[in-house]
C-alpha cells in the first residue's frame, strides 16, 4: 500500500513538473510605493500585505522538498484509525430557524473543514464554504475530501452572508461560490478580505464587499468585523500576499461569534479581545462561540508560523475569553502530516493540561447542529 502510494505521489510530481513552463515569464507587476499622502497601515506593504507580529515569507523549495521527502520516508500522515464523526443534518430545523427572524435560535452546524453554517441575530451565515471534492486548482489532483459535506447545496437554508477568511483553495472554492450565488432568491452577500473582491468580479459576481482589518459591514442587525490573523494568501505562484487574510467577529444583539480563519499563534488574539472589550457587555464576557482551527499543524517546523496546533488553539480560546470554542479545520481534507483523526485527541490533551472543562472546547460531527443560549446583558 505504502509503496503504491509513494509511487502515485512521485507520478504526481512528475506530471506537475512536466507542466512547468520551461521559461516562466517574469512579468509580475512590481507595484511602486503607494501614494504617500495618507499613512498606510503597517500591514499594507507596496501592494502586498503582511502580518502584525511576523513578516511571513512562504518557505522555499528546499524546505518544501524536505517536508515532503521526510513525510514520504516516515510514511506520514499515518492512516487515521477512526473516521471523522458524521450525522444526518437537521435540514428542516435549519430552514425553519433561518426564517424565524428575531425568534432565531443561535446555532452552528459543521459542514466540514472550515465551513460552518451559523445562525444568529435573524440571519444565516456560512464560513469559508467548500462543497467540492478537491481543494486544488487542478480538478484531478490535490487534497481530496475524506467524506461528503454535512449539508449538500440543496439542503442549505437561504444563506444571507458568506464569510471568506482568505483565498487559499480550501477556504475559497470557485464551484461552491458559484452554487451559492445561484441560490433561489438571489446571491448572499460575500464578505471578503481586501483584494479578494476582484476574484468575485472576474467570476461575474458583483455581490462581494471587501474589508480591511477592523472594517465592518452590517447585515440586518448583525455586525461583521474583519479581524487580523497570522497567515498568508495566494492562489498561484505570483500572487502571494497580494490579498488580505483574517478572521471575523460577528456581533448580533443576542449572540457574539468568532471565526478565526487560518492562523498561526500571535498576539493578535489578545488584541482582538482588548479591541472588543467595550462591546462585550458590562460583564465583558468573551465571544459566546469561537470557531478555531485545530488541524493542519504538522510538521511544526514548517507549519507553526501559519497554522496553530490544538494547544495553541486552547491558548487562543483563553486569550479571547471565549465562552465555548469548537475545533474546525480538521477531519475533512488531509493537508499535512498529522493523521486526519489526530486533532481532537491532541485537543483533549491540551484542554486537560490547561484545566479546561470538556464542554468549553469541543469538536462536532460533520452535519451536526449545536444550539446555543442567547447572550445575556
β-strand pairing of 369-371 with 107-112 = antiparallel
Closest CA to 214 of 223, 222, 206: 223
Q: Give the burial class of 212: count Cβ atoms within 10 A of its Cβ; 0-12 exposed, 13-18 middle, 19 or more buried.
A: middle
Residues 6+ apart with CB under 8 A from 289: 106, 108, 255, 256, 257, 258, 322, 323, 324, 325, 326, 372
178 binds a second copy (CB under 8 A): no
Closest CA to 47 of 28, 21, 63, 66: 28
Looking at the Cβ atoms of 72 and 356, the one nearer to a second copy is 72
Q: Give Cα separations from 1 to 5, 7, 143 (angstroms).
A: 6, 10, 18
The answer to whether the CB of 150 falls within 8 A of the CB of 116 is: no
Give 65-68 contacts, CB < 8 A, sequence gap 24+: 67/299, 67/302, 67/337, 68/9
User: ∠ CA 307-313-314 to the nearest 5 degrees?
Assistant: 160
Chain positions 356 to 375 lying near a second copy, rule: CB under 8 A, are none
Chain positions 57 to 116 lying near a second copy, rule: CB under 8 A, are 60-61, 64-65, 68, 71, 76-77
- Of 12-20, 116-124, 178-186, 352-360, the segment contacting a second copy by CB under 8 A is 12-20
CB 79, min distance to a second copy, A = 8
CB 3, min distance to a second copy, A = 10
CB 175, min distance to a second copy, A = 14
Q: How far apart (Å, rounded) are the C-alpha atoms in residues 356 and 326?
A: 13
- Of 18-26, 108-116, 281-289, 310-318, the segment contacting a second copy by CB under 8 A is 18-26
202 binds a second copy (CB under 8 A): no
| Interface pick for a second copy out of 34, 99, 138, 198 (rule CB under 8 A) | 138
CB 294, min distance to a second copy, A = 18
| Interface pick for a second copy out of 31, 82, 238, 284 (rule CB under 8 A) | 238
335 binds a second copy (CB under 8 A): yes
- Of 105-113, 139-147, 158-166, 208-216, the segment contacting a second copy by CB under 8 A is 139-147
| Interface pick for a second copy out of 11, 87, 216, 353 (rule CB under 8 A) | 11
Enumerate binding residues for a second copy (CB under 8 A). Answer: 1, 4-5, 8-26, 60-61, 64-65, 68, 71, 76-77, 136-144, 235-238, 334-337
Amino acid at each position: 500500500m505504502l509503496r503504491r502510494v509513494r509511487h502515485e505521489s512521485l507520478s504526481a510530481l512528475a506530471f506537475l513538473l512536466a507542466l512547468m513552463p520551461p521559461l516562466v515569464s517574469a512579468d509580475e507587476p512590481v507595484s511602486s510605493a503607494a501614494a504617500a499622502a495618507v499613512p498606510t497601515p503597517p500591514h499594507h506593504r507596496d501592494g502586498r500585505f503582511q502580518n502584525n507580529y511576523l513578516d511571513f515569507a512562504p518557505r522555499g523549495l528546499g524546505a518544501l522538498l524536505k517536508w515532503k521527502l521526510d513525510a514520504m520516508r516516515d510514511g506520514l500522515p499515518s492512516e487515521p484509525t477512526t473516521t471523522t464523526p458524521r450525522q444526518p443534518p437537521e435540514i428542516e430545523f435549519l430552514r425553519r430557524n433561518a426564517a424565524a427572524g428575531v425568534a432565531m435560535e443561535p446555532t452552528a452546524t459543521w459542514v466540514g473543514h472550515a465551513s460552518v453554517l451559523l445562525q444568529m441575530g435573524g440571519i444565516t451565515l456560512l464560513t469559508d464554504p467548500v462543497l467540492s471534492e478537491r481543494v486544488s486548482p487542478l480538478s484531478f489532483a490535490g487534497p481530496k475530501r475524506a467524506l461528503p459535506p454535512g449539508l449538500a447545496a440543496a439542503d442549505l437554508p437561504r444563506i444571507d452572508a458568506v464569510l471568506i477568511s482568505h483565498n487559499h483553495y480550501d477556504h475559497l472554492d470557485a464551484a461552491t461560490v458559484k452554487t451559492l450565488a445561484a441560490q433561489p432568491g438571489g446571491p448572499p452577500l460575500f464578505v471578503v478580505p481586501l483584494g479578494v473582491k476582484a476574484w468575485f468580479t472576474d467570476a461575474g459576481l458583483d455581490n462581494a464587499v471587501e474589508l480591511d482589518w477592523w472594517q465592518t459591514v452590517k447585515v440586518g442587525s448583525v455586525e461583521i468585523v474583519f479581524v487580523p490573523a497570522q497567515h498568508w494568501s495566494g492562489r498561484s505562484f505570483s500572487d502571494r500576499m497580494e490579498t488580505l487574510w483574517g478572521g471575523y467577529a460577528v456581533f448580533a444583539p443576542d449572540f457574539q461569534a468568532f471565526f478565526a480563519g487560518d492562523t498561526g499563534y500571535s498576539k493578535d488574539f489578545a488584541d482582538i479581545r482588548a479591541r472588543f472589550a467595550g462591546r462585550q457587555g458590562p460583564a465583558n464576557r468573551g465571544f459566546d462561540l469561537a470557531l478555531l482551527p485545530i488541524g493542519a499543524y504538522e510538521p511544526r517546523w514548517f507549519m507553526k508560523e501559519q497554522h496553530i496546533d490544538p494547544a495553541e488553539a486552547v491558548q487562543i480560546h483563553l486569550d479571547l475569553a471565549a465562552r465555548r470554542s469548537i475545533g474546525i479545520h480538521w477531519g475533512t481534507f488531509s493537508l499535512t502530516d498529522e493523521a486526519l483523526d489526530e486533532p481532537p485527541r491532541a485537543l483533549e490533551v491540551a484542554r486537560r493540561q490547561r484545566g479546561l472543562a470538556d464542554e468549553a472546547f469541543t469538536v462536532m460531527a460533520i452535519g451536526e447542529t449545536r444550539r446555543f443560549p442567547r447572550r445575556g446583558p
